[in-house]
């Protein structure tokens, strides 16, 4: 955070400042200190952009993501996320933000201009997934329970589990060769069940 503040201080004359971060980092489940990032954004008149691909639909008390986890709903300027993970759509995504930004993306965004639109079933699945998240936190609560159960069991078995209370649960082996052997043996256990 001190490095980010230093960079923002150095750019005091910039016409536009944008802080970009993941809400949750995919490899280790680390959670961005989004509340502190938003405070710095306010202090230095910078926009905050968060990628919520590993938070949308299942993180935060009701699955609304890192903003909800930090209790700062409405503080992030731009949110980008996917319909391909917790939201069940298998492809596609979205960006939320100021109308001017969305209009600019519609006019200049290459994927928007040069791609096919999402298939209606994907859109319908995404809308239904958002309805589920907005109307019940049962799935998010069950995922939290299962995550804790997994972390506790793995720790009890002697493994070091990285990250925090996010469902990304990295098993830390700390040696590249050991990780490779471990992955091969796990795949060997799985393969007879695939056919």
Write the CA distances from 80 to 52, 55, 76, 92, 119, integer angstroms: 6, 11, 11, 11, 20
Architecture of the domain delimited by 2-135: 3-Layer(aba) Sandwich (3.40)
pLDDT of 25 > 80? The answer is: yes
Categorize the per-residue pLDDT at 10 as very low, low, confident or very high, splitting at 50, 70 and 90.
very high
Cite the DSSP H helix spans in the chain: 2-10, 34-43, 66-69, 99-108, 110-114, 120-135, 138-156, 176-190
The domain ranges of the chain are 2-135, 138-193
Output the CA angle 127-130-136, nearest 5 degrees: 140
pLDDT of 193 > 90? The answer is: no
**Are 53 and 26 in contact, with CB atoms under 8 Å apart?**
yes
Categorize the per-residue pLDDT at 180 as very low, low, confident or very high, splitting at 50, 70 and 90.
very high
pTM (2 d.p.): 0.82
**Are 66 and 23 in contact, with CB atoms under 8 Å apart?**
yes
Average pLDDT of 27-35? 90
Burial of residue 140, with CB atoms counted within 10 A of its CB: 0-12 exposed, 13-18 middle, 19 or more buried: buried
Residue numbers annotated as active site: 26, 54, 85
pLDDT digits (tens, 9 = 90+) for 111-137: 666 667 778 888 888 888 889 888 888
Output the CA angle 120-122-127, nearest 5 degrees: 95
Mean pLDDT of the chain: 89
Q: How high is the pLDDT of residue 113? A: 61
Q: How high is the pLDDT of residue 89? A: 65
Average pLDDT of 30-59? 95
Q: How high is the pLDDT of residue 83? A: 86
pLDDT digits (tens, 9 = 90+) for 159-176: 999 877 788 888 989 999
Q: What is the CA radius of gyration of the chain?
A: 20
Q: How high is the pLDDT of residue 122? A: 82
Q: Which residues pair with 49 in a beta bridge?
A: 20, 78
**Are 61 and 55 in contact, with CB atoms under 8 Å apart?**
no
């Amino acid at each position: 955070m001190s490095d980010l503040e230093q960079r923002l201080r150095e750019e005091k004359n910039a016409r536009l400042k944008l802080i970009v971060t993941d809400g949750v980092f995919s490899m280790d489940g680390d959670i961005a200190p989004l509340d502190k990032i938003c405070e710095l954004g306010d202090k230095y008149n910078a926009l905050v952009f968060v990628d919520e691909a590993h938070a949308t639909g299942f993180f935060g008390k009701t699955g609304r993501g890192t903003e909800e986890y930090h209790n700062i709903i409405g503080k992030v300027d731009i949110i980008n996320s996917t319909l391909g993970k917790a939201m069940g759509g298998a492809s596609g995504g979205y960006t939320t933000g100021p109308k001017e930004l969305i209009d600019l993306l519609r006019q200049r965004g290459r994927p928007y201009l040069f791609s096919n639109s999402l298939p209606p079933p994907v859109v319908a699945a995404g809308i239904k997934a958002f309805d589920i998240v907005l109307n019940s936190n049962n799935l998010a609560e069950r995922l939290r329970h299962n995550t804790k159960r997994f972390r506790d069991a793995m720790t009890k078995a002697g493994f070091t589990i990285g990250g925090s209370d996010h469902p990304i649960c990295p098993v830390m082996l700390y040696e590249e060769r050991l990780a490779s052997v471990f992955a091969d043996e796990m795949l060997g256990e799985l393969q007879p069940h695939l056919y």
